[in-house]
Structure 1
Amino acid sequence: MSEIDSSTFKQNFEDIKSNIKAAKFIGIDLEFSALNPLSNYAPSLFDTPKQRYHKLKKNVENSIPLQIGLTAFKFDADANHYVGKAYTFYVKPALFSHVNRYFHFETSSIEFLAFHNFDFNKCFLKGIPYMSRIQEEDLRRKLKNNEIYETNMNFMGEIRSCLDNVSKIVNEWYETATIGDILLLDDFSSRYQTDIEFKFCFHKFIRRNFSDIWIFPHRILTLNRVDAKELNELNDENDFNEEIIDSLLGFGKVYKLLVSLKKPIIGHNALMDVLILLTNFEGNLPDKYDDFKKLSTKLFPIIFDTKHIYYNIQRKNPEEKRCNNTDLKSLYEFFSDGVGRHLTKMDSTSIQIEGDKELIGKYHNAGWDAFCAGYIFIRLAFSEMCQKHPSGKIFMPTEYLRGMSQYNNCLNVIRCSVNHINLNGEDPPSIRPPYYVIEPQGNKKLDFMELTSALSAFGSIEIKPMSWKNSKALIAVDNYSSAKSMIREFNKTKKFKVQEYSFIRHSPIVRAALWSGVTLSGMTLLLLMVTNR
C-alpha cells in the first residue's frame, strides 16, 4: 500500500496511471466529512428509491471526501494470481480565487475517523487538491479572458507581504545581472510549490516588473535572465494558465482517468461513495433520479457492490457456512481466514496486496478498505463460478465479470423500502414486510413513548403518525421475522390492535374521496326525489 499526499502525488502519478491502465478492475473506498448532516433528510424505512435519492442528494451536496482509496487489481494467468496495488490518497478541495468550497463536518464522522487514527493534519496540510468539472470549466474561461487578478486571491495580504520581500531581493540582483545569470530563491521554494495563489501572484509580479526573467520551478525556485530569442521559445513551450489548472486539478486527474478507461469498479456498500464522487468531481447531482442513473452509468458503466452481492449469494450456502455480518471487516476475514476461504472444494486463486505492509489490516484506511472490497469480489465470483463450472478450471477476470453481470450496477441501500437500487433500469420491488397500522385498544390516544419502547425489542422498526388525533400510527418493519414477532407479541398483550395497511381502508385521501362520493350520491338522490315530486 502507498499513502499519497500533495508532496508525493506528482512524482507518483505516472506509476498510478500505469497501474490503473493495467488493472482488470478497481477497488474503491471513500472516507468523508459527513454522512447524514441534515436531520430533516434522515433515511427511513418508508423511503422509496426516488425519495432516498433526493435525501442523499441533499446530504452529500456539502460533504467532501477526505481520503480516497483505490486498488488496481492485476492478474497473472500463468500463476492464477491477483496482485492489488493499493493507494490511499489524502485529498481536499482546491483553493484559488473564487474556487473556494464550504462543506459540512459531522461530529460523529470526526469521532469515527479519529477513533480509527485518521491523520487530519496530513489531510488539511498536505491534501491533494481537486476541482469539479464545473469549477474547472469556469476557471478555464476566466483565465482565458484574463478575469482573474491578484486582488481576487483569498490571502492577498499575506501574499503581498511575501512579494515585498521578493521584490527587494530580485531588484538588488537584477541591477547587476546579465543574460544567463540565475538567482536561487530557496526561502520561497516551498510556498511556490504548495500555495497556488502565491504561485499565480509571483508569476504575475515577475512578468509585470522583469520582462526578460524566466521562472524555473525546480526543487529550489530559480530565476534566470534570458535573451529575447530564448524568452520567445519558453513562452511558446509553456502555458502558465494550464500549469495553474493542472495544479488545482490534482486528484481530479485520477478521477478523469477512471472515467476515460471505464474500468469495472468494486465497492462495498458503494452508493454513498458514488454520490460523493459525482458531487465533488462532476458538480451538482441531477435533480431527477433517472438522470442520476444515466449519468452514473455513463461515467462508470460497471459497478459491483459486494455487500449486495453477498446478501444474494449467501442464501445458496448452508447456515453454518454463512457470515452473519455483512460489514467489510467481517466479510474480508470470513473469506481470507474463515469458513468462506473453503466454500468450494477447488483451490481458489491467490490474492496479494503490494506496498507498505504497515498499513495492511488498518480498516477505515481507504486504501486497505478498497483492497478488501476487491478481495471479497474475487472470492464471491470464484464461489459463484464454481457452481457453474465444477471442473477445476482457471477463471479469467472477464469470466468473473460476465458471471456476476446480474449484479452489475445494483447498489445496496440501507433502511429503505428496497434493499438495493438498479442503476441500469427499473428498481426492484420491495421485499420488506407490508406496512402495518397500529392503534390502542379502546377509544384512547396512542402513547408514542410507550409504543416506541414496546417496538424496540423487535429490531429495526419505524413509526409514522397517521392522524392528527394520535389515534393511529403506521409501522414499517425491516424483515418478516421481526414483523411476525411483533404481531404475535402485540396480539398477546391486548394493548394494541395491529392490522396490515390497506391503501383503500387506511389512506386519508381515499377515505376523504369515498366520503365525498357518499355525500355527492346522497345529494343527487335527494335532488331526484324532490324533482320527481
Structure 2
Amino acid sequence: MVALIRRRFLGTKISLNSHRHKLQWSVKQVTKSNFSDSLQEFKSHLSASDFVAVSLQNTGSFSAPWNRVSSFDSPETAYLKVRRAAERFQLLQFAICPFTISGSKVTAHPYNFHLFPRDELNIGMPSYSFSCQTSYLTAMARQGFDFNACIYDGISYLSRAQELAAIVRMANPINLNYVVEASSSPPTVADTVFVERVKSRIKHWKKSCIDSTSKKIDDALVKSLQKLVLGGEQYGSRPCMTIAVCSERQVQLVSEMLREFFDDLVALKIPTKGGGTQAVRVVLTSSKEDKSLLERELQNAEEEQNKKMRGFREVIELVSASQKPVVSHNTLNDFSVIHSKFIAPLPLDVNEFLNSLQSNFPLIFDVNHMMKGIGPLENVTSIPAAVSHLKNRFFAPIEMELSHGV
C-alpha cells in the first residue's frame, strides 16, 4: 500500500479531453437541474473504475474544542464525538471521483454534487433544522461556494430509514401482486364467509360495469344510485371499487381470491398512514394488454416516486452496490456523515457502526491513516504537505486525464 501511495501521489501531466493542459482539475458541478443526466454518466464511469475517492463539505465539525477528536481519544470516545457532529451539522457538498488506472495513466471523472435537505414531499424529512459553524461558512464563501444555488437547486435526499418511514406516511396504493404471498394456513369458517361475500360483490359490480359500457344510461339519478349501491369508483379512466378489510389476513384472502377467479382485475393495497391496511382497491381492465399496461404504469409511478425520495442517495447506493474501494482523507468523519444522512441513524455502539459500515462499504482506505504508515510522513496532517514531501523524494511519472470540464 505504501508503494501504491508513492507511485500514485505524483502526477507529472494532467490532460483534458479537449487537449487543454491545466494544473487545476475541472470538476463537473451537479445540481437538481442536471442530476438525472449526470447520474447516468456517473453510473457508467463508476462501473469502469478501479476505485472511488470521496470528500465532503459540511456546515461544521465540532461545536466546542473539547468535542474535537484527538489522538488521546479511545475509539469509543472518538466515535461518539463524530457521531454528535454528524447529527448536528449538515452536508452541503459531496465530491466523488471514480478513478481508472491503466499502466502509467490515471483517468479521473470528478463530480461535485450540491446538496440541500429540502422537504420536497411535505413530510418533514430529511431535516427540519441543522447547525452551522461560522468559520466553516466563512471558508466556504471565500472559496466561492454558491449558497443560492445550494438552497434553490441543491439535490435533496432521504436515508434508507427515512424512505421506509416516508412510504408508510404517504400511504400510496401498492400492487398486491408484489407484496402478498399465498397463505399456508387453512381457511376458517369466517374466512370462507368473508371471501364468498366479497366474491359475490365483485361479480355484481363487474357485471354492472360491463352492462353500463354496453348500454348508455342517461338518467343521472340512476347512475348515482347504481354507483352508490355497487360501490363504483374511478381509478383514472378505469372503473374500480373499494373493499374494506380489518386485517392483513383479509388482505391475503382477497388477493388469493382475485388471482383465482378474476384475471382482468388489478388489486391495490391502500395503506393507512400508521402502516396498516385500510382497504383493497380493485381496478377493472378491459383486456390482458390493458392489465399489463396498468401494472406497468403502477410500477413506473412507484419507481419515479422512489427516485424522488432517494434523491442523491442514488449515488451512495450505486457506490455501495459496486463494492469498489472507497478512498477518503478522514474516514471516521466522512463515513459517520454518510451513514447518518443516507443509511440510518448512527448507533450508540462503535462496533455496531463498523459492522453496518462494512456491510455497505467493504473496502475503505483512509489516506490520513496510510500516510502515517510512511515513516517521514508520520507528522504530516494534510494532503498538500504529503504531496510536497513525496515530490522531493520520489519520482513516478504518470499521466492524469480528466474526462469532463466544468
Q: Give the deviation of 1:210 after TM superposition.
A: 9.5
Q: Give the deviation of 1:241 after TM superposition.
A: 3.6
Aligned partner of residue 7 in structure 1, secondary structure: helix
Name the counterpart of 2:177. none
Q: Which has the larger radius of gyration?
A: 1
Correspondence 1:504-515 to 2 at 5 A: none
Name the counterpart of 1:74. 100
TM-superposition CA deviations, 1:305-342 (whole Å, max 9, x none): 21221222143xxxxxx69753133334x2xxxx6236
Name the counterpart of 2:308. 247
Aligned partner of residue 51 in structure 1, secondary structure: helix
Equivalent pair of 2:82/2:332 in contact (CA under 8 Å): no
Equivalent pair of 1:143/1:241 in contact (CA under 8 Å): no
Distance in 2 between residues matched to 1:44 and 1:308, nearest whole Å = 14
Q: TM-score, normalised by structure 1?
A: 0.46
* Corresponding position: 1:133 with 2:133: no
Distance 1:145 1:8, change over 3 A: closer
Aligned partner of residue 242 in structure 1, secondary structure: helix
Name the counterpart of 1:29. 55
TM-superposition CA deviations, 1:228-253 (whole Å, max 9, x none): 78976653222324322211211111
Tell me the amino acid that sits aligned with residue 294 of structure 1: N
Q: Give the deviation of 1:348 after TM superposition.
A: 3.8
Distance 1:89 1:344, change over 3 A: same
Equivalent pair of 2:371/2:378 in contact (CA under 8 Å): no
Aligned partner of residue 245 in structure 1, secondary structure: helix
Correspondence 1:343-362 to 2 at 5 A: 343-344=393-394, 347-356=396-405
Correspondence 1:103-502 to 2 at 5 A: 103-144=130-171, 211-212=236-237, 234-239=293-298, 240-315=301-376, 325-332=380-387, 334=388, 340-341=390-391, 343-344=393-394, 347-356=396-405
Tell me the amino acid that sits aligned with residue 352 of structure 1: E
Name the counterpart of 2:221. none
Q: Give the deviation of 1:293 after TM superposition.
A: 1.6
Aligned partner of residue 73 in structure 1, secondary structure: strand
TM-superposition CA deviations, 1:91-118 (whole Å, max 9, x none): 1224123242122222222112112111
Higher relative contact order (CA 8 A, sep 6+): 2
Aligned partner of residue 8 in structure 1, secondary structure: helix
Equivalent pair of 2:28/2:112 in contact (CA under 8 Å): yes
Distance in 1 between residues matched to 2:58 and 2:30, nearest whole Å = 17
Picking from 55, 58, 61, the partner of 2:81 is 55
Distance in 2 between residues matched to 1:61 and 1:82, nearest whole Å = 36
Picking from 122, 125, 128, the partner of 1:97 is 122
Tell me the amino acid that sits aligned with residue 331 of structure 1: A
In structure 1, list runs of 5 or more residues that go unmatched.
148-207, 214-226, 316-321, 359-533
Q: Give the deviation of 1:8 after TM superposition.
A: 0.5
Distance in 1 between residues matched to 2:339 and 2:290, nearest whole Å = 42
Distance in 2 between residues matched to 1:7 and 1:243, nearest whole Å = 16
Distance in 2 between residues matched to 1:55 and 1:66, nearest whole Å = 20
Q: TM-score, normalised by structure 2?
A: 0.60
Distance in 1 between residues matched to 2:156 and 2:168, nearest whole Å = 20
Distance 1:311 1:250, change over 3 A: same
Task: Give identity over the alignment, percent.
Answer: 24
Equivalent pair of 2:31/2:155 in contact (CA under 8 Å): yes
Equivalent pair of 1:38/1:59 in contact (CA under 8 Å): no
Tell me the amino acid that sits aligned with residue 399 of structure 2: S
Equivalent pairs, count: 270
RMSD of equivalent CA atoms: 2.9
Distance 1:38 1:280, change over 3 A: farther
Distance in 2 between residues matched to 1:60 and 1:298, nearest whole Å = 20
